Amino acid sequence: MKRVVVTGLGVISPLGNSVDEFWQNIVDGKSGAATITKIDVSKFKTQFGCEVKDFRAEDYIEKKEIKKYDLHTQYAIAASDTAIKDAGLDFANIDLEDRHDMGVIWATGNGGMGTFEDQLLEFHASGGVPRFNPYFIPKMIVDIAAGVISIRHKLHGPNYCTVSACASSNTALISAFDTIRMGKAKLMIAGGSEAAIIYSSLGGFSAAQALSKRNDDPATASRPFDKDRDGFVMGEGAAALILEDLEHAQARGAKIYAEIVGGGMAADAYHLTGTPPDGMGAALGMKKALKEAGITADQIDYVNAHATSTGLGDMSELHGMKTVFGDHPVAISATKSMTGHLLGAAGAIESIVSVLAVKNDIIPGTINTENLDEAIPEGMNIILGKSVKQTVNYALNNTFGFGGHTATSIFKKYTE
């Protein structure tokens, strides 16, 4: 099996649209939550979220092209272009034959749901006159961002979209990792994007009693593991990682952030939207990732928990961790307390957090959590408040999705 390394990062996020700004805000413990501005939320029970700020599509895409893409694809283009630049890649100067071994695996949970909603509202307002936008279908379908990124850079390797709800982009990352280590590609762009702060998404999650209703103080609404948590905070954005065969990265003199060494995918096979109290599916995914990485649980220094700030979900994950880690006091934090829940893009943005934790030996804190739930298993080392300086040789990133999907990735400090 080939060794696989991370050589480029890119984000469009509620905490900034550059990796440096995003990471600094994570380290500083800043919240990205505020009252929603994209839509009129005056009649909704939940009126806040973690929106992307100061995003200008024209900074990344020609103006005449913007109309062809849903917002989630615009975010995908921006994040992937940023990661490509960060990796020092210029695909225009790479031979066609080499680009046959370079591809894209991009994730989303909802795809062009905003486009779909807008088109149906227009159709209804017209009295049923079928004046559909000619770009409606390509803007709406979930696989389009993967295709657009490959077209944009003329990459002819493996190309597809992974959809596993909120585990989608971690699934994409693991799939890209597998593709490279099995020798089926030399370089892959992997990540995910989501633009689901729209009427139907906000209304649907609200009807499912999944969202926090802390409208009077949005910045403190996402409080994983807190006994007073009342639901998650919806986020949006995109994150991209450039993965490469180590030999390929070394040959071109690329900087290396970290090595990806394991990926575990499983299903808890339990419920449409809920997770089992014992965290069986989460534990299974983590165990598979550890086995693939060839390490034991006590070698993990940091876990970026899925921890959405929902009662059952947070506890299920912690019980799964207890099964895997036992008495090992691994540091745990939940960065959704700052970014909100990016749904299908959550795994990718939290992979970037995990990579930078390994690179910089910094463990982000969990903000807003003041009173830990008394039901949390004993011995859980949850990092609250500010980030801490600590050696991180291995970081583990958990993601779980509606339908029982679980995906866990493991990153290692790079050494030759």
The reported pLDDT for the residue numbered 283 is 98
The whole-angstrom separation of Cα 126 and Cα 78 is 34
Where b means 16+ CB within 10 Å and e means fewer, 202-228 reads bbebbeeebbbebeeebbbbbbbbbee
Kindly name the residue from 72, 248, 341, 405 that is annotated as catalytic: 341
271 counts as catalytic: no
Q: Which residue has the tokens 């020092």?
A: 88
Paired with 408 in beta bridges are: 264, 398
Between the alpha carbon of residue 113 and those of residues 25, 117, 400, the distances in Å are 29, 6, 21
Tokens of 394: 């291995």
Q: Which residue has the tokens 């936008």?
A: 133
User: What residues contact residue 165 under an 8 Å CB cut-off, 6+ apart?
Assistant: 109, 343, 344, 401, 402, 403, 405
**Radius of gyration over alpha carbons of the chain, in Å?**
20
The reported pLDDT for the residue numbered 254 is 98
CB 359 within 8 A of CB 257: yes
The reported pLDDT for the residue numbered 167 is 98
Instruction: Indicate the burial class of 71 (C-beta count within 10 angstroms; 0-12, 13-18, 19 or more).
Output: buried
CB 41 within 8 A of CB 202: yes
The reported pLDDT for the residue numbered 114 is 98
Please check whether the two domains, 4-251 and 260-412, share a CATH topology. yes
Kindly name the residue from 72, 153, 248, 306 that is annotated as catalytic: 306
The reported pLDDT for the residue numbered 147 is 98
260-412 homologous superfamily: Thiolase/Chalcone synthase (3.40.47.10)
166 counts as catalytic: yes
The reported pLDDT for the residue numbered 155 is 98
Output the DSSP codes for 115-140: HHHHHHHHHHHTTS-----TTHHHHH
Q: Which of 275, 267, 277 is nearest to 405 (CA)?
A: 267
Query: Any idea of the CA torsion for 116, 120, 122, 123, to the nearest 10 degrees?
Result: 140
What does the domain layout of the chain look like in residue ranges?
Answer: 4-251, 260-412
Looking at residue 374, the DSSP 8-state letter turns out to be T
Query: Three-class SS of residue 405?
Result: strand
The reported pLDDT for the residue numbered 292 is 98
Looking at residue 293, the DSSP 8-state letter turns out to be H
Kindly name the residue from 72, 153, 161, 166 that is annotated as catalytic: 166
> How many other β-carbons are positioned within 10 Å of the β-carbon of residue 273?
15
User: What residues contact residue 370 under an 8 Å CB cut-off, 6+ apart?
Assistant: 223, 226, 228
User: What residues contact residue 271 under an 8 Å CB cut-off, 6+ apart?
Assistant: 404
User: What residues contact residue 34 under an 8 Å CB cut-off, 6+ apart?
Assistant: 48, 49, 50, 51, 218, 219
CB 216 within 8 A of CB 130: no
Top CATH class, 4-251: alpha beta
Query: Any idea of the CA torsion for 40, 401, 13, 75, to the nearest 10 degrees?
Result: -80
Model-level pTM? 0.98
156 counts as catalytic: no
The whole-angstrom separation of Cα 98 and Cα 115 is 35
Q: Which of 91, 156, 144 is nearest to 113 (CA)?
A: 144
Q: Tens-digit pLDDT profile for the chain (416 aa)? A: 999 999 999 999 999 999 999 999 999 999 999 999 999 999 999 999 999 999 999 999 999 999 999 999 999 999 999 999 999 999 999 999 999 999 999 999 999 999 999 999 999 999 999 999 999 999 999 999 999 999 999 999 999 999 999 999 999 999 999 999 999 999 999 999 999 999 999 999 999 999 999 999 999 999 999 999 999 999 999 999 999 999 999 999 999 999 999 999 999 999 999 999 999 999 999 999 999 999 999 999 999 999 999 999 999 999 999 999 999 999 999 999 999 999 999 999 999 999 999 999 999 999 999 999 999 999 999 999 999 999 999 999 999 999 999 999 999 999 98
Query: Three-class SS of residue 331?
Result: strand
